[in-house]
């Protein structure tokens, strides 16, 4: 069962909808007691799923000026992913949040950067690095990079050693210091809640891509966040990057972030 | 040989019962952590490793320090260490047991700990750390036990044990090197991202481990009437002198590189530790205390008179041990996490429960240490050493 769950998680474009459309997934028993035959289950992809060689995101800061603009974006993500709002700052869980330029780009900040840029709400999230240090550090492969570049977490395999948090140079990971469910006013049943003692982070909405939908933050951003395939020169992200100067967080570390910023 | 552990004076039993009481308190506190989660500690999203991992790091050093007896005794046939090499090995055993307990206490999902074996991941340094720590634990129990058993029967140790002894020597260097690699291979953590981290860890290990053993030798001389011998103690004292000087030298190298290069990402962590950053600096008095303790210890150790005097040597060892403990058990981990990757300062201080759990683990280590030392010394006294 473990191996089929793993395969399920690793394949891009497979979703609950995908299963419904193709009931022919053999051996994928719900109880997990035994497989109908010894062969490994065959997994079909949802034909409507959004697929890419390498997913990337461009955050156009020219279109994000105020806190009021970014709040619904953050809210959209945290709501559908059952990210709790924990008042104790030490125990906060956040997948995407707004911060100042000097915090998003600590090595690029300088005194004369200008008030406007300094006060823009820069959205920061997991960078889904090309060469993710967190994946390198994880002792159980509970965090792994998928074929389309998305860095995912297996919440059921994570032992909570937090090596990935030390390894991440972007502070993108959160740890459940206590049971997060007690802080959820309402639960979205389309995405699993987590238990105490595991790490979590942004998943580039892998579950929505599999259903043919763009990430929730992109949808809520009113065009300020663009999502697409970095490998396809005709994609929206490539076109934007082609015609604008863009930066990534901590370029010098060689992690190769998939999140770009246009100032 | 185990029977020696259940025969002892009243003082021995009072000590054992006291340790068991402290272990029980620590265990009860751990149950609270187990049911609530790591939220009972002072750790946060920003300082995601705290006291437990710091103690683990420090104690790996104490364990590795045992090699400072094994190496001269077995490689150079340095006879003076004959009476205490076994103590060095058993100290390593108890230190590694504490290390493993601290890692376990630090896991968010301890019940899933065996996932590390179920899904072995050679790319992760933690995987290798598990291998070297458990390997070192095995080697020291095995070698120590076989050699002691032979001594008990007044026969030389079997020849086939030699390869295990020789293997344990580089292995000791290995455990602390791999432990340093946990930290120094992480991009974006300027404080740890230094090639000198493993050597620095080893220097502090070879100071703290044998210094602790000297303290233990004084204790067992008083309570168990077992004298390690002046020569052995004095040789250990010289070893810790050089190791401590190397440790302080490496710290100076770190400070020079960070501040002469003037690179903020490397300076800011040191600034936080020694002068405070953006108005935050709970560790500043501790870090300076550490520097002062280590410098005073060096003065006492370098000076032949105070090194040869048992009282001042004992004082020097205590100062050295506390100084290196603050350096590694307080500063090393917090220092790496503050400021955080977004250059925000979020401070860390352990909570009361966290400290009680830590003391419980230390008590468990002392429990193992007491029993192993009791066995070793009883056997040695039995055969008339």
Query: Using one digit for the tens of pLDDT, what is the confidence trace for B306-361?
Result: 999 999 999 999 999 999 999 999 999 989 999 999 999 999 999 999 999 999 99
**Three state DSSP letters for chain B:** CHHHHHCCCHHHHHHHHHHHHHHHHHHHHHHHHHHHCHHHCCCCCCCCCCHHHHHHHHHHHHHHHCHHHHHHHHHCCCHHHHHCHHHHHHHHHHHHHHHHHHHHHHCCCHHHCCHHHHCCCCCCHHHHHHHHHHHHHHHHHHHHHHHHHHHHCCCCCCHHHHHHHHHHHHHHHHHHHHHHHHHHCCCCCCCCCCCCHHHHHHHHHHHHHHHHHHHHHHHHHHHCCCCCCHHHHHHHHHHHHHHHHHHHHHHHHHHHHHHHHCCHHHHHHHHHHHCCECCECCCHHHHHHHHHHHHHHHHHHHCHHHHHCHHHHHHHHHHHHHHHHHHHHHHHHHHHHCCCCCCCCCCCCCCHHHHHHHHHHHHHHHHHHHHHHHHHHHHHHHCCC
Please list the residues that pair with B280 across neighbouring strands: B277
Q: Under CATH, which number does the domain A55-262 receive?
A: 3.30.70.20
Name the residue among B115, B123, B183 with its Cβ closest to that of A136.
B123
Least Cα distance to B351 among B51, B46, B45, B42 occurs for B42
Looking at the complex, report in whole angstroms how far the Cα of residue B336 sits from the nearest Cα belonging to chain A. Answer: 9
Cβ of A142 within 8 Å of Cβ of B115? The answer is yes
Tokens linked to B260: 């002469």
Q: What per-residue confidence (pLDDT) applies to B355?
A: 97
Cα–Cα separations (whole angstroms), residue A157 to A130, A195, A227, B53, B112: 22, 12, 29, 21, 7
3-class SS of residue A68: helix
Least Cα distance to A146 among A68, A258, A22 occurs for A258
Q: What per-residue confidence (pLDDT) applies to B164?
A: 95
Q: What per-residue confidence (pLDDT) applies to A114?
A: 85
pTM: 0.92
User: How far is C-alpha B308 from the geometric centre of its chain's CA atoms?
Assistant: 25
Tokens linked to A176: 């459940």
Q: What per-residue confidence (pLDDT) applies to A28?
A: 45
Does the domain made of B2-382 have the CATH classification 1.25.40.10?
no
Taking CB atoms and an 8 Å cutoff, what residues of chain B touch A251?
A: none
Cβ contact B188:B263 at 8 Å? no
Q: What per-residue confidence (pLDDT) applies to A27?
A: 41
Interface test with B, best of A162, A181, A252 (most B CBs within 10 A): A162
Looking at the complex, report in whole angstroms how far the Cα of residue B270 sits from the nearest Cα belonging to chain A. Answer: 17
Least Cα distance to B300 among B380, B240, B360, B361 occurs for B240
Tokens linked to B8: 């002892």
3-class SS of residue A38: coil
ipTM of the complex model: 0.92
Number of A–B residue contacts, CB under 8 Å: 149
CATH 3.30.70.20 domain residues, chain A = 55-262
Q: What per-residue confidence (pLDDT) applies to B384?
A: 75
Q: What per-residue confidence (pLDDT) applies to B3?
A: 81
Neighbours of B159 (CB within 10 A): 7
Left (φ > 0), alpha (ψ -120 to 50) or beta: where does B322 sit? Answer: alpha
- What DSSP designation does A88 have? S
pLDDT in tens, chain A (263 residues): 456 667 667 777 665 444 444 444 444 444 444 444 556 777 778 889 999 999 999 999 999 999 999 999 999 999 999 999 999 999 999 999 999 999 999 988 888 888 888 889 999 999 999 999 999 999 999 999 999 999 999 999 999 999 999 999 999 999 999 999 999 999 999 999 999 999 999 999 999 999 999 999 999 999 999 999 999 999 999 999 999 999 999 999 999 999 999 99
Q: What per-residue confidence (pLDDT) applies to A33?
A: 44
Cβ of A253 within 8 Å of Cβ of B188? The answer is yes
- What DSSP designation does A89 have? G
Q: What per-residue confidence (pLDDT) applies to A116?
A: 87
Residues of chain B with pLDDT below 50 are: none
Least Cα distance to B52 among B65, B36, B41, B44 occurs for B41
Least Cα distance to B349 among B286, B289, B277 occurs for B286
3-class SS of residue A79: helix
Residue of B nearest to A122 (CA): B342
Cβ of A139 within 8 Å of Cβ of B39? The answer is no
b vs e for B1-29, b when ≥16 Cβ sit within 10 Å of the residue's Cβ? eeebbeebeeebeebbeebeebbeebbeb
């Amino acid at each position: 069962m473990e191996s089929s769950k793993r395969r399920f998680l690793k394949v891009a474009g497979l979703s609950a909808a995908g299963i419904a459309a193709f009931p022919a997934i053999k051996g994928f028993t719900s109880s997990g007691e035994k497989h109908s035959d010894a062969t490994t289950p065959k997994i079909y992809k949802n034909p409507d799923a959004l697929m890419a060689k390498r997913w990337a995101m461009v955050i156009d800061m020219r279109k994000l000026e105020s806190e009021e603009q970014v709040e619904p974006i953050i809210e959209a993500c945290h709501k559908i992913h059952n990210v709790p709002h924990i008042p104790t700052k030490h125990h906060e869980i956040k997948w995407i949040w707004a911060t100042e330029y000097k915090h998003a780009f600590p090595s690029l900040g300088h005194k004369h950067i200008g008030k406007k840029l300094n006060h823009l709400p820069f959205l920061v999230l997991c960078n889904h690095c090309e060469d993710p240090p967190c994946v390198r550090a994880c002792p159980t492969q509970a965090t792994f990079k998928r074929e389309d570049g998305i860095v995912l977490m297996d919440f059921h395999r994570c032992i909570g050693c937090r090596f990935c948090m030390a390894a991440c140079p972007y502070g993108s990971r959160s740890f459940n210091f206590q049971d997060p469910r007690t802080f959820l006013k309402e639960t979205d049943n389309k995405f699993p809640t987590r238990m105490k003692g595991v790490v979590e982070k942004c998943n580039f909405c892998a579950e929505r891509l599999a259903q043919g939908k763009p990430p929730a933050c992109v949808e809520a951003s009113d065009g300020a966040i663009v999502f697409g395939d970095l490998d396809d020169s005709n994609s929206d992200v490539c076109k934007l990057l082609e015609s604008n100067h863009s930066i990534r967080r901590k370029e010098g570390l060689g992690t190769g972030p998939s999140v770009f910023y246009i100032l | 040989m185990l029977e020696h552990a259940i025969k002892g004076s009243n003082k021995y039993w009072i000590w054992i019962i006291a340790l068991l009481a402290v272990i029980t308190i620590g265990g009860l506190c751990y149950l609270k952590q187990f049911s609530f989660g790591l939220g009972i500690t002072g750790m946060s999203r920003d300082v995601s490793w705290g006291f437990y991992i710091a103690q683990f790091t420090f104690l790996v050093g104490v364990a590795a320090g045992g090699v400072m007896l094994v190496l001269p005794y077995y490689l150079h046939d340095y006879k003076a260490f004959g009476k205490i090499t076994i103590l060095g090995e058993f100290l390593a055993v108890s230190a590694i047991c504490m290390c493993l307990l601290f890692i376990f206490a630090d896991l968010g999902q301890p019940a899933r700990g065996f996932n590390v074996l179920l899904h072995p991941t050679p790319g992760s340094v933690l995987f290798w750390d598990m291998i070297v720590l458990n390997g070192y634990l095995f080697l020291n129990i095995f070698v120590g036990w076989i050699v002691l058993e032979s001594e008990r029967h007044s026969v030389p140790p079997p020849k086939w044990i030699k390869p295990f002894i020789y293997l344990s020597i580089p292995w000791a260097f290995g455990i602390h090197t791999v432990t340093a690699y946990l930290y120094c291979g992480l991009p974006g953590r300027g404080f740890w991202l230094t090639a000198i981290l493993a050597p620095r860890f080893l220097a502090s290990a070879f100071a703290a481990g044998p210094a602790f053993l000297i303290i233990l030798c004084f204790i067992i001389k008083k309570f168990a009437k077992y004298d390690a011998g002046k020569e052995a103690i004095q040789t250990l004292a010289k070893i810790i002198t050089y190791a401590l000087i190397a440790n302080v030298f490496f710290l100076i190298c770190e400070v020079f590189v960070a501040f002469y290069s003037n690179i903020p990402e490397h300076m800011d962590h040191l600034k936080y530790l020694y002068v405070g950053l953006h108005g935050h600096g709970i560790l500043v008095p501790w870090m300076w205390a550490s520097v002062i303790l280590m410098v005073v210890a060096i003065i006492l150790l370098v000076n032949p008179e105070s090194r040869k005097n048992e009282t001042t040597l004992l004082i020097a060892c205590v100062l050295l041990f506390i100084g290196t403990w603050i350096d590694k058990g307080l500063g090393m981990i917090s220092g790496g996490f503050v400021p955080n990757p977004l250059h925000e300062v979020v401070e860390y201080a352990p909570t009361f429960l966290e400290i009680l759990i830590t003391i419980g683990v230390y008590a468990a280590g002392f429990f193992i240490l007491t029993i192993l030392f009791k066995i070793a010394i009883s056997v040695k006294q039995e055969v008339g050493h």
